Structure 1
Amino acid sequence: MRIDIRLDPSELRGWQCEVVTALRARPGCDVRLSRGTAIAGLPKSADTLFWLERSLFHAEHGALATAAAWPDLPVADGDWSPDLRIDLCGDGTSEGTAMGVLSLRCDGEEPEAGALAAVLDERAPSMHTCLALDGAVRILSVWRPAVENRRSATAALGMLLGRAAHMLVHDAARLADGIPAGSLAAPPLPETLDRSAARFFTTSLAARVRNRIERQLGRAPNWFVAWRDRVGGDELPVIGPAGFRRLADDGQRFYADPFLWEQGGKRYLFVEEFPYATGKGVLSLSNIGSDGKATTPRVIFETDCHLSYPYLFEHDGAHWMIPETSSRRTVELYRADPFPDRWTLHSVLLDNVDLGDATLQKVGDIWWMFAGSRERWTSSWDALSLFRAPSPFGPWQPHPGNPVLVDLHAARPAGRILDIGGRLVRPVQDCDGLYGAALGFAEIRTLSSQTYAQTLSASALPWGDNSGLHTYNRSATLEVIDLFGSRG
């Protein structure tokens, strides 16, 4: 496939070079460049803001780097006719192309201008890709990306532009692979607050000072686990403060990512334990007695990398666990030997991948893996990727549409998939403004080798002084969640 990427050499940044590099690396792609004039770049006030953050907080981001040289690639000339033109300036036309011109809009604006407005307003933007040909425009994809630090303009804008680069490469690759391009409705435009860079800096600086004082006084919030006797039957859960009891901690660690398992009259609560002294997660186990009392969690599994999200399942008469090991870019399968205190590595299911919260579901004869995914310069909070295999042991094949969903409100897994009257419902994280800010429950509508669709059916918000709620699991007699808040 012949691809012409239109760039402005005077406004060249790292995220644009990432588009060039990624597409150049794809087999069968002949990438050339053409020079254009950017119609909407970043204002001088943004450069001043980045300089202040770099000077005071050492903030930098590769997606915003301006020292990138003009890529060492051939320049498109009049004798070369591209199949697709990718317009990173805003001044490109589909003239002379077979498939048209691909571009990206952020809240209806050019990527950098739209993303900066969202950052200064401290809100999550919408991005969509457009394919224009002969005066007709189709919207190929609509994504709702997350940022992980809204108090840093450098980090937030870099993450949004990293996702913009990923989105353009994703859709260009699908066009190159001959995957039919649909047409979606444009996302609604936001009401912008039109905040200035100066105001953003002063408010973010005040927030940084306040957060530091809270940490020094030991009042900074963190995650904790709570459980209650199961309420209701197999319907969608109704989550609120009634009945939940907090799993006690000693202030030297937090507990999160709870999973339940019941057998032989015993009730097991598996959690991530994060000791502040080591800064590395381990997996721990608490027993919940018939009297409703929970034992102090004891460490049952520790490796040389951070562990979390102890997803458990039973297969072929054995107990299995897939903990999150994203820090070493693997998805690993462990077998209980014996259950529940000892776990032995069985196999590495996927390697050289950045996946979190892997969750399995068998549908018919196919095993599906749902996982939060991350690409270069993007958040791990907003993207869902799927894999399929004939058994939980693999071989696991990626879905051709990966990521099948980019939505900070409903992508990242938040617990075991629920079977509610034959309907499969995914607990999902809503990460708008905070990692795990709230819970959602998304019903899977379409799950096939080519497509995926879900509908958000219900949501649950944290209560009281808590500001996060990001896991839900249940067993025959218990329900368990985790919340983000103060120790009280």
Structure 2
Amino acid sequence: MIIEFRCDREQPRLWMCRESLRVNDQDIPVQIAWITTSAPRPAGLDMLFELERIVLRKGKAGGADRVKPIPERPRAGSPDVVVDFTAAERDPSCSAKLYLRPRFNGHAGEDAALAAILAGDLPVIEIVNELDGAVMDRGHPSAEIAAGLSGGLDTVMARTLSMLPPILSGAPRLVPQLTVPALSSAAPNPAPFVLRGLATSIAKEIYRLCCYAPHWHIGWRYAGDTDIWRTGDLSGPAWNVLADPGNHFYADPVPVKWQGRTFVFFEDLDHRTNKGIISAIEFDGNGPIGPVMPVLEEPWHLSYPFMIEHNGELWMIPESTAHRDVPIYKCIRFPDKWERHSTLLSGLELADVTITQHNGLHYMFGAWRDGTGGYSDTLAIYYAEQLLGPWQPHAANPILMDRATTRPAGNFVTVNGKLWRPVQDCTNGYGAALGLAEVLELSPTTYRQAVRHLLQPGPLWTGRKLHTLNRCGQLEVIDGSRVQPKTTAFLTSLRSSGRSSQWDWHSALAKPIARRLH
């Protein structure tokens, strides 16, 4: 197979210099055809991108960086597949069997992607086969790592590239039905957008000087018959907040009852090291009792401690994307002694792994990432006959790219014979809201879901965000984030030294900045 990228000679970017695509576990070389187009360029764009590189990325290279000189590679011959990233007319003499054109909010070319970002959001990406007009795949990327205009373009193009191998593999695609926003006919001036982005970056740095960011905390209650799965909202008994020491945050709560005792396991991150471990605290029917205890630590970051009972044993699968694997730990002594048993999957980033059993098989869901782009927009599924594997990839992996419905947010539940799963809705930022999705179809070759309810922070849950939901018996747990000033001791020392007015200024500044950033 010969793959050819058609790219605009006037807009050569680092992301275009991809030498191969991995399709069906083979690296397929990519050749580039540089096309001269008449597309107008926004004034000063390269200068603005360079400013973002220096200020936002501290000089680090990014996919949107301009490359000089234009790289030339020997052509292997007439392409079998063309991926045309320009807005130019298709060459009618091209004999390629597949002619793919990425579209951004319905339009082709880099300028269309930039116009969508300048309008305030990353675009919906469609890969269209121009030979018959069929939409081969569609997705909406998340922007949690997209810094500035250049970072937004880098994220969009990284996700566009990640959509190509599944299409070229010939695997069945489950094209999601996403609303494609209309593209404004006016080309916004990028300078104000970039300058606002730089100002926001400075505000974030000031906020981080004053506060730990983000600072997650856990909410809990005994819900009775008014749990979220029955009501579809956050109503019912008031939520309590699990106390934390301030310089640690608690997130991803998972309650489990084992050997007659109930514990909530969670990510425990030390702000001073920015590294998470798994900790736990016991609940007695009225609330937490005893101290928080660390139960699992590795040299790398751990979070999202998914728990499952299997063959009379208790198992934990913590998120381990920093180690690029999916490990499974066996409980040796409950709750505080765990032994790594095996590795279920290796060599990949799969976040918030959550497993359910359905029609005789185990299904593993996770937010997949191929080293670039966002962390919360792409769903992958694996299946196995036994919990310990071997695990096989779903025929349509990655299943879908949609920041609003992809990333797991807690355990599956069955309500009135229907299978449901909570999902993170990252439309307005990572962990901003939580959806309740009904699983309509699940097999090794198919998957369909529909989000029926959306839960957002508000009067009933004053945490600024919401991205985990779990339950054990009557105990229901969620999480959120709040403004957390750095150390009570620091505040006390400032007040005692007579500089309280100075701190009050910092505190007053931090709160409105936090409201804007969250």
Relative to structure 1, is the Cα distance of residues 441 and 5 closer, same or farther in structure 2, using a 3 angstrom cutoff? same
Assess if the C-alpha contact under 8 Å between 2:21 and 2:27 holds in 1: no
CA distance in 2 between counterparts of 1:282 and 1:126 reads 36
Secondary structure in structure 2 of the residue aligned to 1:470: coil
Partner AA of 1:189 in structure 2? P
Q: Deviations 1:164-185 (Å, cap 9, x if unpaired)?
A: 11123332x23xx3x4678887
Q: Match for residue 454 of structure 2?
A: 459
Matched, 1:352 2:347: yes
Deviation, 1:301, is 0.7
Query: Aligned to 2:3, what secondary structure does the other structure show?
Result: strand
Name the CA shift for 1:331/1:23 in 2 (closer, same or farther; >3 Å). Answer: closer
1:122 alignment counterpart = 120
* Cα distance in structure 2, aligned partners of 1:220 and 1:117: 30
Supply the distance in 2 between the matched residues of 1:87 and 1:113 (Cα, whole angstroms): 14
* 1:409-451, Cα deviation, whole Å (9 max, x unpaired): 0100000111112211111001123210100011111212222
Aligned to 2:162: 166
Q: CA separation of 1:331/1:27 partners in 2, compared to 1, >3 Å: closer, same or farther? A: closer
Structure 1: tracts of 5 or more residues without a match: none
* Cα distance between partner residues in 2 of 1:202 and 1:191: 22
| Counterpart for residue 413 of structure 1 | 408
- The equivalent of 1:363 in structure 2 is 358
Quick check: 1:262 aligned with 2:257?
A: yes
Alignment: residue pair count: 477
Q: Contact 2:32–2:73 at 8 Å: present in 1 too?
A: no
The residue that corresponds to 1:34 in the other structure is 33
Structure 1 length as normaliser, TM-score? 0.90
Asked if 1 retains the 8 angstrom alpha-carbon contact of 2:172 and 2:395, the reply is no
> 1:68-467 alignment to 2 at 5 Å?
69-74=70-75, 76=77, 80=78, 82-91=79-88, 92-93=90-91, 95-97=93-95, 99-133=97-131, 136-149=132-145, 151-171=147-167, 173-174=168-169, 177=170, 179=171, 187-190=179-182, 192=184, 195-218=188-211, 222-232=215-225, 235=230, 237-240=232-235, 242-464=237-459, 466-467=463-464
After TM superposition, give the deviation of residue 6 of structure 1 in Å.
Answer: 2.3
Shift in alpha-carbon separation, 1:25–1:102, aligned structure 2, 3 A: same
**384-393 or 114-123, which moves further after superposition?**
114-123
Match of 1:3 in 2: 3
| Structure 2 unaligned spans of 5+ | 486-518
Percent of aligned positions with the same letter in both sequences? Answer: 31
Residues in 1 aligned to 2:275 and 2:23: alpha-carbon distance in whole angstroms: 38
427 and 278 in structure 1: CA distance in 2 versus 1, 3 angstrom threshold: same
Aligned to 1:65: 65
Greater shift after overlay, 55-64 or 295-304?
55-64
Q: Which residue of 2 aligns with 1:51?
A: 50
Name the TM-score, length of structure 2 as normaliser: 0.85
- List structure 1 segments (4+ residues) > 6 angstroms apart after TM superposition: 181-186
CA distance in 2, matches of 1:139, 1:288: 51
- Distance (whole Å) between structure 1 residues aligned to residue 416 and residue 188 of structure 2: 48
Between 1:272-281 and 1:108-117, the stretch displaced more is 108-117
User: 1:120-178: CA deviations, max 9, x gaps?
Assistant: 23313201010022xx311111101011145522322211111111123332x23xx3x
Q: Letter of the 2:156 partner, please give it.
A: L
SS at match of 2:409: coil
Secondary structure (helix, strand or coil) at the match of 2:194 reads helix
- Which AA in structure 1 matches 2:87? G
Q: CA deviation at 1:23?
A: 5.4
- Report the RMSD for the aligned CA atoms in angstroms: 2.7
